[in-house]
Structure 1
Amino acid sequence: MKKVYYIPLFVLCVLFFTRCGIYGFTGGDVGSAKTIQIDFFQNQAQLIEPGLGQDFTLALQDLFTRQTNLTLVSSNGELYFSGEITSYRIAPMSATSQQTSAQNRLTISVNVRYANTTDEKKNFEKSFSFYSDYPATSQLTGGVQEAAFTEIIDRITQDVFNASVGKW
């Protein structure tokens, strides 16, 4: 019988919090901004991986359009992201008893410039980096490469989101 009372109470609380603006379920604090511009992140690393810049740019655009109410524009965005991929490195991480590599690490770094025209105190230029480990017996191609890129790009784009509009 108590469950019957909890359901309407829960619905009222959800409506109250969303209507009063106390909490938004998007997870991002965009202030009064309505538009976002995310320029292409060109790959300027010493080792170039074709398509990486496009994959990163699209993932960042997708994250912001999914988790905020911002409209993606090609120019004059109130929130503006630009930058470049600065590093793409593959390095051995651990060795076997035969003195060969047992595991390799792919590390990608991205330099991000963020401008918020509605609150310029939030502007920044920062480097974000993440890695993915894979067995040395595997080549960084096909499914191994796709899984590594997905893991790294997801983490970096989430870090950029949190640094720019994340509330936590």
Structure 2
Amino acid sequence: MKNLLFACIVLILSSCSYKFNGASIPPELKTVEVPVFENLAPLVDPTLSNTLTEAFMTRIRTQSKLNISKNGAQAKFEGKITDYDIRPIAIQDNTKPVAGATRLTITVMVKYTTTVQGNSKPFEQSFTAFTDYQAGQPLAGAYQQSLNKKIIDQLTENIFNAAFAQW
């Protein structure tokens, strides 16, 4: 009897899902299109475009009930990577200036359109995120990808929130 009661409680709780991400997606909005974000940055990481696009689609899938569609969707996110910047920061020693750290910054321009009325408002906005790393550390390979991932996580969260969280 206890097992049956426990199974019923688990079933009820698993059917109820509330996400604490603050998203308020109109119930009529069912599909969204996310074309590959074009990379127009002066400095190009060849994997960044696909990585950013896939990460954003994953965020939509995991934080909403929206379905990703190739065309004919009710909403669309069009993105362009406009900057990929590596810059020294934390300059030290006044006699012979040396950077104590380096900042990697990624900027993305996103246009969000929707045919559904509700809380989700269309916008065209630039999003920027960065991470700092130790000066002298070469930015290549797995290390570069891990820094990109940190920035992409922040960018996708900011884009998702701009479209669906209106705090």
| TM-score, with length taken from structure 2 | 0.83
Q: Which of the numbers 27, 33, 47 marks the counterpart of 2:29? A: 33
Equivalent positions of 1:9-158 (< 5 A) are: 18=16, 24-25=18-19, 27=21, 28-31=23-26, 32-97=28-93, 98-119=96-117, 122-158=121-157
- Offset at residue 146 of structure 1 (A): 1.7
Q: Deviations over 1:120-162 (max 9, x none)?
A: 8700000000001011110111232122101100000000010
Moved over 4 A (4+): none
- Offset at residue 29 of structure 1 (A): 2.0
Per the alignment, in what secondary structure is the counterpart of residue 161 of structure 2? helix
Q: Deviations over 1:62-93 (max 9, x none)?
A: 00011111111100111210020001111110
Question: Distance between the aligned counterparts of 2:79 and 2:30, measured in 1?
Answer: 21
- Offset at residue 51 of structure 1 (A): 1.0
* Runs of at least 5 residues in structure 1 that lack an aligned partner in the other structure: 1-7
Question: Distance between the aligned counterparts of 2:38 and 2:108, measured in 1?
Answer: 10
Instruction: Indicate the RMSD between aligned Cα atoms, in angstroms.
Output: 2.4
Question: Distance between the aligned counterparts of 1:38 and 1:136, measured in 2?
Answer: 36
| TM-score, with length taken from structure 1 | 0.82
Question: Distance between the aligned counterparts of 1:51 and 1:142, measured in 2?
Answer: 11
Q: Which amino acid in 2 is paired with 1:39?
A: P
Per the alignment, in what secondary structure is the counterpart of residue 87 of structure 2? strand
Higher normalized contact order (CA 8 Å, seq sep 6+, divided by chain length): 2
Query: Taking every aligned residue pair, what percent have the same amino acid on both sides?
Result: 31
How many residues end up aligned between the 2 structures?
154
Q: Which amino acid in 2 is paired with 1:54?
A: N
Would the aligned equivalents of 1:87 and 1:107 in 2 still touch at CA under 8 Å? yes
Question: Distance between the aligned counterparts of 2:87 and 2:166, measured in 1?
Answer: 35
Would the aligned equivalents of 1:134 and 1:144 in 2 still touch at CA under 8 Å? no
Would the aligned equivalents of 1:41 and 1:54 in 2 still touch at CA under 8 Å? yes
